Amino acid sequence: MKILITGGAGFIGSALIRHIIKNTNDSIINVDKLTYAGNLESLSEIETDPRYHFEQVDICNKSDVERILTEHQPNVIMHLAAESHVDRSIDGPGEFIQTNIVGTYTLLDNAKAYYLSLTEDKKETFRFHHISTDEVYGDLHNSNDFFTETTPYDPSSPYSASKAASDHLVRAWARTYKLPTVVTNCSNNYGPYHFPEKLIPLVILNALEGKPLPVYGDGQQIRDWLYVEDHARALYLVATSGKTNETYNIGGHNEKTNLDVVTTICEILEKLVPNKPKNVKCYKDLITFVSDRPGHDVRYAIDATKIARELDWKPKESFDTGIEKTVQWYLANQDWWKRVLDGSYSRERIGLN
């Protein structure tokens, strides 16, 4: 089977590609524009596999997308390409509107034409899998509530609003044009190869350098944390075995406050890196509370009953096991994140040096 993955050089996309190449016989076409967070070095261990092919393409470019579909003839499209950082969406929402909404529309429009060109037997196996976020649901104020696949949308940030719009477009193409689709909404991902602007890698790297560990507000915002390799397994299951035109929520069953996450990382570093930076007696001393993000949601929590029941998926990693593996990975892969921080990552591979 041929699978076209958009955003495959990103954090979740690269984990998905590594999972598929290592555990299946499928072929991958990775379509990625290589914006600041796209890093081909995250795919170095599989990039020479003959089943892997890379196309540096912007999904907003209709002719390029059309060419790729015609040339590679994928059986499945898995759409992960997106701008995804909430703070950046607040500072500059335009790129989020363009990539997440216009890009999804362009991909859907090409996918529709491609689907209509297929023979009947190939139409039977084709599907368009749209990967989204639990942030489209908004905020949970009741500690007993969980997001389900039927929770009404109530996005709070330009990022989540743009993802909500893309979800609606996918469902509209399914209903109006009969395009076989499936949508997944996931909780907060973490793990190896995570871009350092995100909370967990930022805290790890700042702590190692003796820099402040910024925590928004009082740090009591709650998120459900999902180890990225567990997410990759779930995505492949949905793409290959999920029911067409259904939605599946994917969660890690690991609700933690942001402050708990930061504190846990500090405790792991005390054990693994006892030789601290100069003038740092305790990693927790670096925790610094900063002004809260505008419109910051208080709590997200996923009900993943449906995917467990229908596809027999559940996360393998608890937060305790996953976060320790994550910290150990960053300690063992300093060359990777140092190249990300200094901006030299991937340049050789795309001819910028």
pLDDT score of 346: 57
| In the predicted structure, residue 142 carries a pLDDT above the cut 80 | no
Residue 84 binned pLDDT confidence (cut-offs 50, 70, 90) = confident
| In the predicted structure, residue 350 carries a pLDDT above the cut 70 | no
Residue 37 binned pLDDT confidence (cut-offs 50, 70, 90) = confident
| In the predicted structure, residue 285 carries a pLDDT above the cut 80 | yes
Told to judge if 177 belongs to the known catalytic residues of this protein, a careful annotator would answer no
Catalytic residue, from 52, 105, 159, 330: name it.
159
Q: What is the pLDDT of residues 237-277, one digit of tens each?
A: 999 999 999 999 999 999 999 999 999 999 999 999 999 99
Q: How far apart are CA 213 and CA 181, in angstroms?
A: 41
Catalytic residue, from 55, 83, 135, 224: name it.
135
**Token output for 343:** 């901006």
227-261 burial code (b ≥16 CB/10 A, e <16): bbbbbbbbbbbbbbebeebbbbbbbbbbbbbbbbb
CATH tag for 2-193+226-253+298-318 (out of 3.40.50.720, 3.10.129.10, 3.40.50.261, 3.40.50.1980): 3.40.50.720
Told to judge if 159 belongs to the known catalytic residues of this protein, a careful annotator would answer yes
Residue 348 binned pLDDT confidence (cut-offs 50, 70, 90) = very low
Q: What is the pTM of this model?
A: 0.95
Told to judge if 135 belongs to the known catalytic residues of this protein, a careful annotator would answer yes
* CB 300, CB 151: distance < 8 Å: no
| In the predicted structure, residue 353 carries a pLDDT above the cut 90 | no
**Token output for 267:** 């405790």
| In the predicted structure, residue 347 carries a pLDDT above the cut 60 | no
**Token output for 195:** 């871009």
Average pLDDT over residues 224-246: 98
Catalytic residue, from 32, 55, 134, 229: name it.
134
pLDDT score of 141: 80
Cα 171 to Cα 27, 203, 294, distances in angstroms = 27, 37, 30
| In the predicted structure, residue 85 carries a pLDDT above the cut 90 | no
Which of 309-314's residues contact partners 24+ apart within 8 Å by CB, and which partners?
A: 310/242, 310/243, 310/248, 311/234, 311/237, 311/238, 311/241, 311/242, 311/248, 313/233, 313/234, 313/237, 313/250, 314/253
DSSP state of 283: G
Q: How far apart are CA 328 and CA 318, in angstroms?
A: 15
pLDDT score of 351: 43
| In the predicted structure, residue 194 carries a pLDDT above the cut 50 | yes
